[in-house]
Structure formats: C-alpha cells, structure tokens
Amino acid sequence: MARVISGTAISGEIRAEIAAEVEELRQAGITPGLAVVLVGSDEASAVYVRMKARACERAGMLSRTIHLPADVGEDELFGVIDGLNADPAIHGILVQLPLPGHLPYKAVLERVTPEKDVDGFHPLNAGRAFVGDPRGFIPATPAGIMEMLRREDIPTRGKHVVIVGRSLIVSKPLASLLMAPGPDATVTLTHKHTVDLASHTRMADILIVAVGKPGLITPEMVKPGAVVFDVGTTRVADPSIPEGYRIVGDVDYEGVSQLVEAITPVPGGVGPMTITMLLVNTVIAARRKLEESRV
C-alpha cells in the first residue's frame, strides 16, 4: 500500500509558518491583505471563497470579499479591480474563476496589477515564472505541488515526470518549475489528443494528473513504484451519504495505491495546498511592499 502524501498535514505546517510571519509583519506595521472578487452565484466558487477568507483570518491576515452580481458589466468590474489595485491595505488580489461568459476573463485577469496578482495569472507573472525570475508569482497549485515534493523529500533530479493536462493554471507552469535548475526533472506534457496515453504514463517516475476526469488513470497505466499526484477534483453523485455527492480525483485511488510508492488522496491531497500557497504569495507581496517603504 502506498504512502499517503497528506496535503492537509503539509498545509498545516506551512500555515503555522505563515501565521508567525504575519505577526512579524504586523509588528513592523503592515498586515497582509487579500481581496477576492466573486462574480455571480456559483456555489462551488462561493464555498472556495469562504475557505480562503477563513484561512486568511486564522493566519491573522486581512480578508476582503467583493461579491458582484452575475450580470455585472465589464466597466464596473474593472472599476472594482482598479480600486483594489490602488488600495494600500490590499497586497493580493484574485478574481475567482470561472467568470460569467459575457466577461472577457483574460482582460479581467490582466487588469490586476502584477504586484498584487497572487494567483500568478497575469502574463507578466507567467513570463517571469517561466524564465525563473523570482519577482514573478507562481500559481498556487503548481507552487503547492513543488512544496509537497520538497517537504516529502521526493527526488526530482533526472526523474521522468509525466503531466496529464496542459492548462495554463497548473500543467504548463508546473512543467517549467520542474525542468528548472534545481529540480532538474525531465518532463513530458500530455493532453486529451495524446495518442496512447498509457504508454506515456507508464514511463513516469512521478505522475501528475490535472484533467478533471474521474477515474482517468487506472492501475495498468501506472509504473509500479511511481509517485502520483492527483490534482483532479470532481463532484460525483452519491445518495448513500448526507451531502448527496462525494469528491473524487482523476486517479483510481483504490487500485493505483496498491502499486505505487506514494500518492495524494482526493480530497486532502493537493487541494489544501492551493489556498495555503495563495496566503504565501500574499505574505510575499506584503513583505515586498514593506521593503519598498524602507528604501
């Protein structure tokens, strides 16, 4: 049976470190502040936003949520973002995705000033992260996976990492991070048009799956002894439990966990790290602002 890589446990360690750093910043006269803009009434997004707010408050950070109606106009949304860009009490801004279809999400994300773009989605931050410029914010989920690898002492140098998925939010930035000097991994990116996906996944020393398709990775698609990170989170109906649904990943956990060295569960794996790394980025942004004020 595989060793379970608990994102919940690792996240708890990091959040304790964050709280200590927040207190240090507060003593220096600055409280890290995170603002979340939520458009519409998507329940999953609303739950996620509430989790972010609670995490901020527990760490001693300032949390602000701006909830706008689903039919909000582009100009009004831009005005809200501009106000947050100019607010000295706010060090991190994120616009919760997905946005309603009438809003140009790329333009919305680019409206957030790069210095407060703790999601790491602004093209300037994406480019900085790609070339290894430390001024760029790394998107939270890839940053969380890298931290899990480090804290679990999972070697990456010379290892073959196969990533299933090609998103700009997870897969592409993660590939850049893993190939950089230091991690020194060899990375293969696959996607839904990859021919014979299993022939690639079976070669992985470290397999990272971020698609959102329950049960995509079955035991015969995994090399025995590999390390598996399951980023997928999908609600599936389950009338046997009070909630009426359960959260599952992209990996057949029961089957694959019998073969591999280590695996992340869903829930409780990569998911908790995402919010935690958003807090980390916000603290970094606040510390940079403090350093600027001292120059």
User: Mind telling me the catalytic residues?
Assistant: 52, 96, 119
Phi–psi pair at 143, nearest 5 degrees? -60, -40
93 neighbors 263 (Cβ within 8 angstroms): no
Q: Which helix (H) or strand (E) holds 231?
A: none
96 neighbors 64 (Cβ within 8 angstroms): no
Q: In the chain, how many H helices and how many E strands?
A: 10, 11
The DSSP letter of residue 115 is G
The rounded distance, in Å, linking the Cα atoms of 6 and 166 is 24
Q: Report the DSSP pairing between strands 160-164 and 234-237.
A: unpaired
The DSSP letter of residue 218 is -
The rounded distance, in Å, linking the Cα atoms of 267 and 257 is 15
Q: Which two tokens stand for residue 210?
A: 């971020």
Q: Which two tokens stand for residue 281?
A: 């980025």
292 neighbors 72 (Cβ within 8 angstroms): no
